[in-house]
Amino acid sequence: MKKALVTGITGQDGSYLADFLLEKGYKVYGMVRRNSTENFERVEHLRYSIQFVQADLLDQMSLMKLIREIQPDEVYNLAAQSFVPTSWDQPVYTGEATGIGVTRMLEAIRYEKPDTKFYQASSSEMFGKVQEMPQSEKTPFYPRSPYGVAKVYAHFITVNYRESYDIFAVSGILFNHESPRRGKEFVTRKITDAVARIKYGLQDKLELGNLDAKRDWGYAGDYVKMMWLMLQQEKPEDFVIGTGKAHSVRDFATISFNAAGFDIQWEGEEMNERGIDVRTGKTLVVVSEKFFRPAEVHHLLANPQKAKDKLGWEPELSFEQLVQMMVEADLKRYEKISK
């Protein structure tokens, strides 16, 4: 039985990856950091199938001990401070967890089990102020946030350990991927959660920032399989994973409201733009300055050709299906609460 250690197990991707690895017959160890209350909502259904182990990316010795004791065949490093706006408020912490934390894990592997295969959760946020359209493995990075900068460090330290110590270490440069398990501060889930709350009269309207930002959004459940496939290749290589299609925040909101039976129309411009329900004249969306970022990443679009050729990558869920799935899940959740 192969052993996999997954950091960030309580996060969106960790929970989907654990589902996938268990199906593949792995023994899964899920790394959790100490919290005053348990935070197992996304992995509740796996509580007795995963072995939870405690450590922290900020603590070198805890990682050494983990690798020594588990002797994993594969490590998936998904843990990070992953919310871009927080990285402006806590840039040093973000650098420690999202950047240097990766070096700590790689050191633990180098000293305790150097034949462990290592997956690093790299990000399209590294492309930032994009240098070409669409973005591939060869596109130069230009990060626009402390989070993006930390991910670039993490990316290159992974390349460096591969080249210096012959560790099977790869980076998956993943574009935005979403699901009903997405954190509610990220824009997609913020929208679908608000749509459901408005539908059930629990919220009046939704405040958003830059409606023109465009992302290449895919489904998290499709993406975790690619993480695993990257570690099953003969030689360690980095891959871009995305759908090759981008949509704006405004598009995402429009489709979400439509999916819940609203007929939304956009009026006004920039800071005064509003989403109005055509049938009732009620304002559903307003733009608020507080959700704008000091430096925006305007347009991310993947060129996933390498993953298509070498990993057989083909996303199963379309953008419209993804939005529908997220809206339906939130409607169901609030239907139960409102009864």
List binders of ligand GDD among 180-219 (CB under 6 A). Answer: 185-188, 190, 208-210, 213, 215
Evaluate whether 249 touches 297 at the Cβ level (below 8 Å): no
Q: Binding partner of residue 120 among ligand NAP, ligand GDD, none, CB under 5 to 8 Å per kind?
A: none
Q: Which residue lies nearer to ligand NAP by CB, 242 or 275?
A: 242
Quote the least distance from Cβ 103 to ligand NAP, whole Å: 13
Burial class (CB in 10 A: 0-12, 13-18, 19+), 196: buried
| Sign for the pseudo-dihedral over CA of 157, 158, 162, 165 | positive
Q: Binding partner of residue 79 among ligand GDD, ligand NAP, none, CB under 5 to 8 Å per kind?
A: ligand NAP
- Give the interface with ligand NAP as residue ranges (CB under 6 A): 7-14, 33, 35, 39, 56-58, 78-82, 97, 121, 123, 174, 176-177, 183
Q: Which residue lies nearer to ligand GDD by CB, 17 or 66?
A: 17
* Cα separation, 111 vs 44, whole angstroms: 33
Q: Does 52 bind ligand GDD (CB under 6 A)?
A: no
Q: Which residue lies nearer to ligand NAP by CB, 161 or 223?
A: 223
Q: Binding partner of residue 33 among ligand GDD, ligand NAP, none, CB under 5 to 8 Å per kind?
A: ligand NAP
Quote the least distance from Cβ 12 to ligand NAP, whole Å: 4
List binders of ligand GDD among 267-326 (CB under 6 A). Answer: 291, 293, 296-297, 300
**Pair type for strands 214-215 and 206-208:** unpaired
Phi and psi torsions of 320, nearest 5°: -65, -40
Q: Binding partner of residue 296 among ligand GDD, ligand NAP, none, CB under 5 to 8 Å per kind?
A: ligand GDD
* Cα separation, 188 vs 326, whole angstroms: 9
Letters for 117-146 (x = contact with ligand GDD by CB under 6 A, - = none) are ------xxx---------------------
List binders of ligand GDD among 13-32 (CB under 6 A). Answer: none
Binding-site size, ligand GDD (CB under 6 A) = 23
Quote the DSSP letter at residue 289.
G
Element (H, E) at 117: strand 117-123
Q: Which residue lies nearer to ligand NAP by CB, 39 or 318?
A: 39
Tokens of 40: 């197992």
Phi and psi torsions of 251, nearest 5°: -60, -45
Quote the least distance from Cβ 52 to ligand NAP, whole Å: 11
Q: How far is CA 297 from CA 144, 158, 300, 322, in A?
A: 7, 24, 7, 22
Q: Assign residue 195 a region: left if phi > 0, alpha if psi is -120 to 50, beta otherwise?
A: alpha
Q: Which residue lies nearer to ligand NAP by CB, 39 or 265?
A: 39
Q: How far is CA 58 from CA 52, 62, 63, 148, in A?
A: 18, 9, 9, 19
Which residues contact ligand GDD (rule: CB under 6 A)? 82, 84, 123-125, 175-176, 185-188, 190, 208-210, 213, 215, 249, 291, 293, 296-297, 300
